Amino acid sequence: MAVATDEKRIALLIDADNAPAAKIEVILAEVARYGAANVRRAYGNWKSPNLKSWEAVLHEYAIRPIQQFAYSKGKNASDMAMVIDAMDLLYARNLDAFAIVSSDADFTPLVMRLLTDGVKVYGFGEKKTPEPFVNACSKFTYVEGLGQPAAEVQADETVATVAPRSAQDLRSDDRLVRMLRRAVETASGDDGWSHLGAVGHQIANQASFDSRNYGYRKLSDLIEAAGLFETRRDNQIVWVRDKPKGKTKEAPKEPDKAEAGKPKGKGKAGKG
């Protein structure tokens, strides 16, 4: 008798013309955090020399190559084949999510269509990926932000390899600041404190977001780096609340030890 499992079934669809083969290992590791990639397909014209780097990893990672000839010059027939397959897989009703690897915004309508059926869509692409595609996904991760799994990191995590953005850069990102503040406010209790897990859930409902795109491995790291919020920890639980206006990230300076013991005066002593 088959054993019941809660593991999500995911279709991994790769636009090989617009995705780096060198990142496939960490992409698969990331997909494994959400479930099992039962379907693994890569689309392209495999007669093209541009896809040589992909040919080397197809068998190693059990990815099925889908051949698609370019019927017209300047047109990418692989995109159409990938969309058709995605819809066929959706109608089969035996998948919980899709992982789409591409830096091409042409897949934005496909993502929006998949979402209307209640399935998650995890996007992976390079930083050049247009915002409409990034924002349409349930979660989009820049492949530059995914590093090789490290021994000191848990098996279900990957290292962020993008240089962390400074506090000033984070605070100047209006979209990020609005999203964080809205999530913290929505998840807050009567005392103003919000559970970090609830904040993350609110963010996921608002837009595509991954802290590693900003150079931080965890949401808590990014929030603390931005300096816009107060945080406190109860064992493993992290709480967040908005800082009062005018309160800066820097802690108040301690008084100089040499001056600390001197009595307070009204200025310089007058001449005798």
Q: Where are the domains of the chain?
A: 9-145, 167-242
pLDDT reported for residue 208: 66
> Which pLDDT does position 89 carry in this prediction?
95
- What CATH number matches the domain at 167-242, 3.60.20.10, 2.60.40.10, 3.30.420.610, 3.30.390.50? 3.30.420.610
List the structure tokens of 117. 């059926």
CATH topology of domain 9-145: Rossmann fold (3.40.50)
What is residue 114's predicted lDDT score, i.e. its pLDDT? 95
Same CATH fold, 167-242 and 9-145?
A: no
What is the pTM (predicted TM-score) of this model?
0.62
Of 259, 174, 160, which Cα lies nearest the Cα of 219? Answer: 160
Question: Can you give the pLDDT at residue 73?
Answer: 54
Query: In this predicted structure, what is the pLDDT of residue 120?
Result: 92
* Predicted pLDDT of residue 170: 87
Looking at residue 176, its pLDDT comes to 84
Q: How far apart are the first and last CA of the chain?
A: 102
- From the CA atom positions of the chain, what is the Rg in Å? 25
Ordered per-residue pLDDT tens for the chain, 272 residues: 344 456 899 999 999 989 999 999 889 988 988 889 999 999 998 888 888 999 889 988 999 999 877 655 545 667 888 999 999 999 998 899 999 999 999 999 999 999 999 999 999 999 899 989 998 999 899 998 786 443 333 444 444 456 788 888 888 888 888 888 888 888 888 888 888 888 887 777 666 677 877 888 888 888 888 888 888 888 878 888 888 765 544 433 444 544 445 455 444 444 44
Question: In this predicted structure, what is the pLDDT of residue 99?
Answer: 96
